Amino acid sequence: MALKKFEGLPREVIALRVSQEIEDNSYVNLGIGIPTLVSNWLEGRDVILQSEIGMLKTGSLAEGGDIDQDLINASCQPVLEAQGTVYFDICESFAMIRGGHVDVTVMGAFQVTPTGDFASWMNPSRGLNGVGNIGGSMDLATGAKKLFIAMEHTTNDGSPKIVRELTYPATARKKANKIFTDLAVIEVIPEGLLLKEIFPGLSVDDIQSVTEPKLLVSPDLKEIEL
Amino acid sequence: MDKTVKDVEEALSGIEDGATIAIGGFFAAGVPRILLRALADKGVKNLTLACGSGPLLGAKGELDALLSNGQIGKVIDSYGLFRSATKGGQHPFEQQVRSGEIELEVYPMGTLAEKYRMAGAGIPASFLPVGAGSMVESSIITNIEDHRKPRETRVINGQTCILEYALKPDFALIHANTGDAEGNLCYRKTARNFNHVMATAARVTIAEVENLVSPGDLSPESVHTPGIFVKRVLQVPRITFDITAL
């Protein structure tokens, strides 16, 4: 199998780039994986994190003696309260999510397409007869005002994760608005995928070579700025 | 009204083989560990455990006991499998899901929450937009092929919606930080999660509470679950565990 072709941004820095796209005064929900790392870059910002377990104003990760067994985020990581934290039950939490009250949702994905379809909940190769962990992913996608996908540009063996059609089971259709990878920032527009930013040193052809659908190139194409 | 029970046997009385039992908790937070352990000791079989988001993954000792007694027939959950495929593949729960010995039925988390809410609120079914365009729209998601019933859908305001039915468990086992003898409950931090809505949904709700107080001791404005939803209250010690061990 082909190996990964290009070295790009580390996961923490993809998260940093995503954080720059989040406006102050936003309510934000962060999924598992790279999205969770976005919280490290939001400290001091006027952004409120919603956690689907039932918490608004989720604080930073807790360590050592600060760990409380009754206080975790939706990834089961111990967290801290922030000043003004609120707790509520699961139905209220999903009223916020499904009801369109969350401004920005950031999720990981196995695959994304030019129409904004994405797959994140099940890896068929796990061989579990059609079941997997949906968690809150479909609810979050349904209610998202803005949905950002944060992921590696390719799989570990170099296969594109930005594909023409999903081969993994869909989480939702026509929902992804923007894709942040280690190699590029791509916007989902009605005409397809618009390449807006690329990792310094790489060319449009380089990005295209690890992306299955044909990319449109923004007239304002620039290097990823941090 | 005094709903306190003296021990776990009295708390779980009436639970028989084949029962559908809601289990509160979200991964390791707010799981009714003592009642789950007692359920394993009771030995009742062919149980359907109706969960919300992975409480059995968060109470692995109790899950292992239920599995080794062969008590679980079916699990309903939104996140019922270990996140790590390697870890999951080695665990008897996933092995029994793979072989079909245990049925796993999966819903989006908010949809599952709403199925319990509908049961508690006397709403038989409702149309939800979540899952449109995914496998959720085509059939019930389960590892047992014969049980993949097709879903009813309707386009409402241009959006495809899926008919979801109320999920009414026979019993709910829930965990609260503080409760009074009349069943009024308060939860601590994110340990609330599915506990409240499951309390409203079940025919018989059994609450384990770390602190048992007298009626009037809870601030009336601060009660999370009013006692009308709770049938039995059992005082339990606070079990400390490593939340990071999941």
CATH number reported for the structural domain that contains residue A205 in this entry: 3.40.1080.10
Q: CATH number of the domain at B38, please.
A: 3.40.1080.10
User: Is position B245 within any domain?
Assistant: no
B91: which 2 tokens? Answer: 């665990």
B145 touches chain A (CB under 8 A): yes
Does B66 share its domain with B174?
yes
Contacts by A35-41 with C-beta closer than 8 Å and gap 24+?
A35/A106, A35/A107, A35/A108, A35/A150, A36/A73, A36/A75, A36/A77, A37/A11, A37/A12, A38/A106, A38/A150, A40/A12, A40/A15, A41/A15, A41/A16
Task: Tell me the Cα Rg of chain A.
Answer: 18
Residue A130 resides in a domain: yes
Assessment of whether the complete model's pTM goes beyond 0.90: yes
Q: pLDDT digit string (tens) for B183-234?
A: 999 999 999 999 999 999 999 999 999 999 999 999 999 999 999 999 999 9
Rounded to a whole number of angstroms, the distance from the CA of A170 to the nearest CA of chain B is 5
Judgement on whether residues B60 and B132 belong to the same structural domain of the protein: no
Residue B229 lies in a domain: yes
CB atoms under 10 Å from CB of B21, counted, come to: 24
* Residue A1 pLDDT > 80: no
My answer on whether B80 and B173 are in the same domain is yes
Q: Do A137 and B30 touch (CB under 8 A)?
A: no
The answer to whether residue A56 is domain-embedded is: no
Counting the structural domains of chain A, the total is 1
- Do B146 and B93 fall within a single domain? no
Residue A226 is predicted with a pLDDT of: 86
Whether A74 sits inside 8 A of B26 (CB atoms) is: yes
Does B129 contact A at CB distance below 8 Å? yes
Cβ-based burial of B59 (10 A; exposed 0-12, middle 13-18, buried ≥19): buried
Shortest Cα distance from A158 to chain B (angstroms)? 21
Report the chain B residue with the minimal C-alpha distance to residue A174.
B133
How many beta-carbon pairs under 8 angstroms link A with B? Answer: 181
Chain A touched by B28 (CB under 8 Å): yes
Residue A3's pLDDT band (cuts 50, 70, 90): low
pLDDT in tens, B124-145: 999 999 999 999 999 999 999 9
Cross-chain CB nearest to A171 (options B107, B134, B142): B134
- CB contact at 8 A, B178 and B211: yes
Number of domains in chain B: 2
Angle subtended at Cα A163 by Cα B141 and Cα A142, rounded to the nearest 5 degrees: 45
Based on the fold, state whether residues B138 and B55 are members of the same structural domain: no
Catalytic residue among A12, A21, A43, A52: A52
How many CB atoms are closer than 10 A to CB A27? 17
Q: Would residue B201 count as lying in a domain?
A: yes
User: Does the distance separating the beta carbons of B192 and A87 come in below 8 Å?
Assistant: yes
Q: Assess if residue A225 is contained within a domain.
A: no
Let me know if residue B20 belongs to a domain: yes
Q: B148, B165, B182: which is the final residue of a domain?
A: B165
Beta strands in B101-168 (DSSP E): 103-106, 125-128, 141-142, 153-156, 159-165
Tell whether B88 lies on the interface with A, counting CB pairs under 8 A: yes
The minimum CA-CA distance between B162 and chain A, rounded to whole Å, is 13
Q: Are residues B102 and B193 in the same domain?
A: yes
**In-domain check, residue A39:** no
**Counting Cβ atoms within 10 Å, is residue A139 exposed (0-12), middle (13-18) or buried (19+)?**
buried
Full domain range(s) for residue B136: 125-165
Q: Which two tokens stand for residue B176?
A: 């609260």
* Whole-Å CA distances, A183 to A17, A63, A105, A199: 11, 32, 21, 5
Give me the pLDDT at residue A2, please. Answer: 58
DSSP code of residue B127: E
Is residue A183, in this structure, part of any structural domain at all? yes
Q: Mark out the alpha helices in B122-216 (DSSP H runs).
A: 135-138, 195-201
Q: Are A118 and A149 in contact (CB under 8 A)?
A: yes
| Domain boundaries, position A124 | 11-33+96-212
Q: Are residues B173 and B102 in the same domain?
A: yes
Same domain, B179 and B160: no
Q: Is the ipTM of this complex over 0.85?
A: yes
Residue B147 lies in a domain: yes
**What pLDDT is attached to residue A5?**
84
Per the annotation, the verdict on A52 as an active-site residue is yes
- Report chain B residues whose CB lies below 8 A from the CB of A173: 132-134
Which DSSP letter does residue A201 get? Answer: T
Does residue B192 share a domain with residue B149?
A: no
Would you say residue A165 lies in a domain? yes
Query: In this structure, are B197 and B219 located in the same domain?
Result: yes
Checking if the pLDDT of A137 tops 60, the result is yes
